[in-house]
Amino acid sequence: MNGRFAVRGILLGLVVVWGARPIAGRAFANVAVGEVVEDAELRTIDGGRASLLAKGAKADVVVFFRPQQEHSTDALRELAACQRELAGKPVHWVGVVSSSWAPAEVRAVVTETGIRMPVLVDEGDALYGRFGVRLHPTVGVLDESRRLAAYEPFRQINYCERVKARIRLVLGELDEAAVAKLDSPERSITRTDEGVARRHLNYARMLLRIQKLDRALAEVEKVLAVAPTAAGYALQGEILAAQGKCPEAIRAFDAALKIDPASSVAVDGRKSCGR
Amino acid sequence: MDKRLPILAAALAAISLGLGAQRADAAPMKTEVKKQALRRGADVAPLPKDKALHSHAPFEGGDCGVCHQNNDPKNPGPIRHASVNEQCFECHDDVRDVMARKYKHVPAAEACTDCHNPHNSVETALLASEMVDMCTRCHAGIKQQVTTAKVRHDAVTTGKKCSNCHNPHAANVEKLLIALPFDLCVNCHAKDGMTTDDGRLMTNFKKWLDENKVWHDPVKAKDCSACHRTHGGENFRLLVAPYPEKFYAPYDRKLYALCYGCHNDKVVSEAETTTLTGFRDGSRNLHYVHVNRERGRTCRACHEVHASKQDHHIRDGVPYGPKGWMLKVGFTKLPNGGSCAKTCHDTKTYNNKTLTSAAAK
């Protein structure tokens, strides 16, 4: 019994470790995904001091940005939305700006975008150099053990989705498969063959309702030619029955029952034809 | 001095002649713009039959009762459902699934008849009017881009027009894109022989990206719109911000607004650094040396912007002479930096691991 629990525990541990693996790929020039990041205490734009990383946080989100840059403003706005969606979770957000920017200018962009985080002033771009930050804006997501789990430079499309997914991966709320799915959304087409078949079937049903039986039958036959479904045959049976053609209707109901023995429309239809 | 340098310079300058001066406008990089108040309710009255080219099947068949309370063309009465969309979904229930996607077009969510005439139309899909005209009645900023842009994008006005890239109902990607930008762009830009309006040959990107595996970050991120204004724009190659068209250009920060949209401009403006770039010899910033001068080399002199075979997006060669013969860029990555062998200059090595320059050793 204990052995079974032990095996389960090991398997669960493997799953947890697998789920918490960093997403491989892009990284800062000097800090690779999976590497541990050292903490640093820096001056903030408000004149205080704050740490880059927070004790007790399950995820640290470090945002490198700058004022006077459209992408930074857009990114902060997107991240503010992300922040609201992740409110209440153990996530620590911190911004880092070069000391070459005036604090008032940095404060203005932070206020404008609504993001809530301390902003550290990077004297002489030392932290930028240590990380190897080549792009603005860029986000680093660190896990509980302060390993870089994800590196996300700004993108125009689905940025909040991507960053949020990586934070949730670190928090253990998503697994890699779910993140991969979010990263590669399904194509958003409207018209599919299956959808068009459904439309014709529904239309046939509408025509049956207003007693346009010949047209209804023609519609349903179009559907059956491309998608021979139980629902299609059952509707064909209903139309034929309404036309008083019970032998043909029963053949249609039987075809429906062959595909779906539980088709209540077909069962009831057979009964209405005296079978 | 290498005797080839002036020859190369002259040839490249000659290639560049005739190209227009770059505008340095600081237009916003993103294409999304203010929308006007949403139009509500297209004209849903049927067109005279001799004017319509497409009809909705129930209307064509005179089956008013499919949608209306009375099956009488002379007195159809109101529709059977309180909501227009619920009425439409009675047949078009596949669109109900579409509308369950995360990003929804507000008019589609409110009433199908904001865009479609449920009876008949001269347009396909029973659109109440021509697609670009209809979309840009609300998306007025896009209209301005589409109609007045110096550089136009055919994808907006040909084929399925706006819906080449957008799903006007709902989508799984922001901006109602059918797929991530790269997957849409490379879908078309995957042919040999495509040309720009001024006759220049365009790259077959599928082939190029297959052959060159070091991809620029926006390409990896499938974010073509990071650099290209997809509805039309003022900069060559639909770039979202100014970038020098010529191989050589005097350094002016404004001319590199495209690159500085993401990259730190201090990479080029600071003569000395130990943090901003790996392309430095000791603390001597070699980007500054190459670019920040009267006759500076533009980024593309050394970097391939979409994809390359070498690290740091270093291109294989630079075009040389009137036929564009490729002069090999002999870059080698070294443990302490790199070296560039005889191309534009004699072999030079740089060391970015110490404050001591390679040349000093």
Which H or E element spans position B297? Answer: strand B296-297
The chain B residue lying nearest A136, using CA atoms, is B262
User: Measured between alpha carbons, how far is B244 from A69 in angstroms, rounded to an integer?
Assistant: 19
Digit-coded pLDDT (tens) for B200-221? 889 999 999 999 999 998 898 8
Nearest Cα residue in chain B from A219: B57
Which CA distances in Å does A262 have to A1, A252, A254? Answer: 43, 15, 11
Q: Do A125 and B276 touch (CB under 8 A)?
A: yes
Measure CB to CB from residue B174 to each of A71, A157, A194 and give the nearest one. Answer: A157
Chain A residue numbers with beta carbons less than 8 Å from the beta carbon of B175 are 157
Distance CA B171, CA B155 (A): 19
pLDDT value of residue B319? 77
Question: Strand B54-55 vs strand B120-121: parallel, antiparallel, or unpaired?
Answer: antiparallel
Query: Is residue B170 very low, low, confident or very high in pLDDT (cuts 50, 70, 90)?
Result: very high
Mean pLDDT on A153-165: 93
Query: Do the bridges between strand B307-308 and strand B296-297 make them parallel or antiparallel, or are there none, so unpaired?
Result: unpaired
Which pLDDT band holds residue A17 (cuts at 50, 70, 90)?
very low
**Torsion sign (Cα): B101, B104, B107, B109:** positive
Q: What is the 3-state secondary structure (H, E, C) of chain A?
A: CHHHHHHHHHHHHHHHHHHHCCCCCCCCCCCCCCCECCCCEEEECCCCEEECCCCCCCEEEEEECCCCCHHHHHHHHHHHHHHHHCCCCCEEEEEEEECCCCHHHHHHHHHHHCCCCCEEEEHHHHHHHHHCCCECCEEEEECCCCEEEEEEECCCCCHHHHHHHHHHHHCCCCCHHHHHHHHCCCCCCCCCHHHHHHHHHHHHHHHHHCCCHHHHHHHHHHHHHHCCCHHHHHHHHHHHHHCCCHHHHHHHHHHHHHHCCCCHHHHHHHHHCCC
With beta carbons less than 8 A apart as the criterion, state whether B86 and B73 touch.
Answer: no
Q: Per the CB < 8 Å rule, is B220 touching A126?
A: no
The set of residues, in sequence order, having a beta carbon less than 8 Å from that of B361 and lying 6+ positions away, is: B351
Instruction: State residue B286's pLDDT score.
Output: 94
Closest Cβ–Cβ partner in B66, B173, B278 for A158: B173
The answer to whether the Cβ–Cβ distance between A194 and B58 falls below 8 Å is no
* CA torsion, ordered A62, A64, A69, A73, to nearest 10 deg: 10
- Looking up tokens 């599919």, which residue turns up? A192
Beta strands in B113-240 (DSSP E): 120-121, 170-171, 214-215
The answer, yes or no, to whether residue A4 has pLDDT greater than 80, is no
Residues of A in contact with B266 (CB under 8 A): 98, 100, 125
> Which of A56, A57, A50 has the alpha carbon at shortest distance from A96?
A50
Does residue B21 register a pLDDT over 80?
Answer: no
Least confident range from A114-128, A198-212, B319-333: namely B319-333
List the structure tokens of A252.
Answer: 């249609």
- Looking at residues A78-107, what average pLDDT do you find? 96
Give the nearest chain A residue to B221 (CA atoms).
A155
Q: In chain A, which residues have their Cβ closer than 8 Å to the Cβ of B171?
A: 188
Q: Whose structure tokens read 């809530």?
A: A116
Residue B96 has pLDDT above 60, yes or no: yes
pLDDT of residue B19: 34
Gap from A50 CA to chain B (nearest CA, Å): 22
Q: Hey, CA dihedral for B335, B317, B220, A140, is it positive or negative?
A: positive
CA distance A105 to A95: 14
Please answer yes or no on whether B278 and A29 come within 8 Å at the CB atom: yes
Structural domains of chain A in order of their starting residue, each with its CATH number: 19-183 (3.40.30.10), 193-272 (1.25.40.10)
Give the CA radius of gyration of chain A.
Answer: 30
Tens of pLDDT, residues A174-220: 999 999 999 999 999 999 989 999 999 999 999 999 999 999 999 99
Contact A156 B94 (CB under 8 A): no
pLDDT interval class at B337 (50, 70, 90):
very high
For helices A264-272 and A246-259, give the axis angle rounded to 10 degrees: 160
Longest dimension (CA), chain A: 91
